[in-house]
Amino acid sequence: MRYVIIGAGAVGGVVGGRLAEAGHDVVLVARGAHHDALRDHGLRLRVPEGELARRIPVVDGPDALGALRPDDVLVLAVKTQDTEAGVRAWGPAPVTGGGMAAERLPLVCAQNGVESQRLALRVFRRVYGVCVWLPCTYVEPGVVSAAGTPLTGILHLGRHPHGTDETARLIAADLEKSRFEAPVVPDVARWQYAKLLANLGNAVEALTGPVAGEEAMALLGRVQAEGAAVLRAAGIAYATPEEQRAVRGDKVTLVPLDGVPRGGGSSWQSLARGTGTIESDYLNGEIALLGRLHGVATPLNELLQHLAGTFARERREPGSMPLAELVRRVDEAVARTG
């Protein structure tokens, strides 16, 4: 199989780089300065064993790649807000032997949140979800990093909306030869909803900086408790913290990397790069949506969704809101809700 990594940023670049390092056929898809750096200098992957440099074919879209192969696997690794554009661009791409990608090829959504698979299924017949446990960073054009060892990450994989199949098992086998653990599960959504609860803190980090200390952890606990209440009201199951700890153990231990300044998670990185967009609509916004559907007030997550979106649009620096100010706004939002 050949892996076409649509969105070769932090997650896509690390997954594509590790697959290529293990001898698998990979094509990276990127835009702008990142595309140019990958084309001119190859991918530089900073990991605990050092910096790995590898020339991997790179294109800026389906037209530049030409007809896809029948054994291609499309891996969608863009942020959720870019999912629709991605599936609309790649769905009609022709496949050698006839037909188009949306009809013939599997699409694997390696993204945060739970919405991308639903968006993809409007276009693609075969969609797979991934619960991405992969601490990684986009460092600069052409350079990504992953600080986990001995494994780079853990990627639960399954069909959407549920089930497993031989394609999932073949993909998992390739990932497990590439420094990942890739459990194939029939209920991947359970793991994704658990990750969603963890990702509700991304906005807190993006707004105020690292979530550390008693006050910040207390705020995070309130935000996640609100999310858990919504999932219970919606009847949505999610993997327990005990299940997650049992799977992860000490398989992905973070170590300092030379040349990689300490940063934050995916939302923090979006603000740091000044992209103008952020995924809070599909993290905190998912909880707000479910709350409205099931009659549960979600003032904390609504506020975080709004503030993170404002920071992104105004291209404000990550971590520039004092924690005390955010806590004050949260308390005011709760009081207004009554």
What pLDDT shows up at residue 338?
A: 75
* C-beta atoms surrounding 241 within 10 Å: 11
The whole-angstrom separation of Cα 287 and Cα 136 is: 25
Q: What 8-state DSSP symbol labels residue 316?
A: P
Angstrom CA distances, 127 to 24, 122, 180, 200, stand at 21, 10, 21, 25
Residue 113 identity? G
SS3 label, residue 323: helix
The whole-angstrom separation of Cα 71 and Cα 30 is: 21
Report residue 158 as tokens: 């399954």
* Model pTM score: 0.96
What pLDDT shows up at residue 104?
A: 98
The whole-angstrom separation of Cα 43 and Cα 52 is: 8
Q: The tokens 């990627």 sit on which residue?
A: 155
Q: Exposed (0-12), middle (13-18) or buried (19+): which is 317, by Cβ within 10 Å?
A: exposed
Which of 81, 115, 90 shows the shortest CA–CA distance to 29?
A: 90
pLDDT in tens, 287-308: 999 999 999 999 999 999 999 9
Q: Exposed (0-12), middle (13-18) or buried (19+): which is 137, by Cβ within 10 Å?
A: buried
| CA triple 2-120-153, angle to 5 deg | 55
Q: Exposed (0-12), middle (13-18) or buried (19+): which is 294, by Cβ within 10 Å?
A: middle
Instruction: Check if the beta carbon of residue 45 is closer than 8 Å to that of residue 14.
Output: yes
Report residue 232 as tokens: 């219970």
Low-confidence ranges of the chain (pLDDT < 50): none
Q: ω into residue 150 within 30 of 0, thus cis? A: yes
The whole-angstrom separation of Cα 21 and Cα 3 is: 13
**Consecutive H or E run containing 292:** helix 284-294
The whole-angstrom separation of Cα 316 and Cα 322 is: 13
pLDDT in tens, 135-149: 999 999 999 999 999
What pLDDT shows up at residue 258?
A: 85
